[in-house]
Amino acid sequence: MSGKRYKEAKKLLNDGEILSVEKAISVVKKNSTAKFDETIELAINLGVDTRHADQMVRGVCSLPNGTGKSMRVAVFAKDQKAEEATAAGADLVGAEDLMESIQKGNIDFDRCIATPDMMPIVGRLGKVLGPRNLMPNPKVGTVTIDIKTAVEAAKGGEVQFRAEKSGVVQAGVGKASFDEKKLVENVKAFIDAVNKAKPSGAKGTYLKKVAVSSTMGPSVQLDTGV
């Protein structure tokens, strides 16, 4: 959105106004005027200090209406499990060969899944995959024997989330082309998933601020009591 269009969109908002999910989505869609199908993005400020292990927030959410994004999935598996991954629609499947390809900088995927026996190989990629939040992890179902289910879930609109150092969780929850009802359902599902992932060490207000925006548009603050 150009500076002029952004300012015009901003005029439609009252600074500090907190809206219901339904109203916020309506406003954000109206402000999605770019020439491409903008992503609807959710940002949640949490009352946690991620420096403490018992305040780390991490989880996964299956959006009821998908993300609208084509998800490329890489799978570390051998033999029958590799065949299952391919049949389920994985884009890249391999073992040592896939590791070597990634080490060379070929990271053309959005989700990485591995069978447990592949983790010694995947572990060598920690410095590459870790910073990109692509490291397979059993807590979010990406280290699993059930490769078929994991690949299908990733392809079907499942999103992973993890609190950043500042305590913010962010995710794309659909596209501006989605109808409002579907976006509202996705937003509520994601906030519910983050709520359920509340860590034992969290004190005080957990959901401090929730904001939704389109890729190029201004953000709108949501009522946290969704």
For the segment 29-42, the average pLDDT, to the nearest whole number, is: 93
Q: Kindly list the domain boundaries of the chain, sorted by start residue.
A: 16-67+158-222, 73-155
Two domains, one topology: 16-67+158-222 and 73-155: no
CA trace torsion 138, 191, 134, 28 (10° rounding): 160
Q: How far apart are CA 215 and CA 25, in angstroms?
A: 13
Q: What is the spatial distance between Cα 18 and Cα 25, in angstroms, rounded to a whole number? A: 12
CA torsion, ordered 26, 28, 32, 36, to nearest 10 deg? -100
Worst-scoring range by mean pLDDT, 2-16, 33-47, 81-95, 108-122? Answer: 2-16
Q: How many CA atoms lie within 13 A of 101 on its CB side?
A: 14
> What homologous superfamily is domain 73-155 in, according to CATH?
Ribosomal protein L1/L10, domain II (3.40.50.790)
Q: What is the pLDDT of residues 157-215, one digit of tens each?
A: 899 999 999 999 999 999 999 999 999 999 999 999 999 999 999 989 999 999 999 99
What confidence tens digit (pLDDT) does each residue in 99-112 have?
A: 999 999 999 999 99
- Which residue type is seen at 214? S
For domain 16-67+158-222, the CATH architecture is 2-Layer Sandwich (3.30)
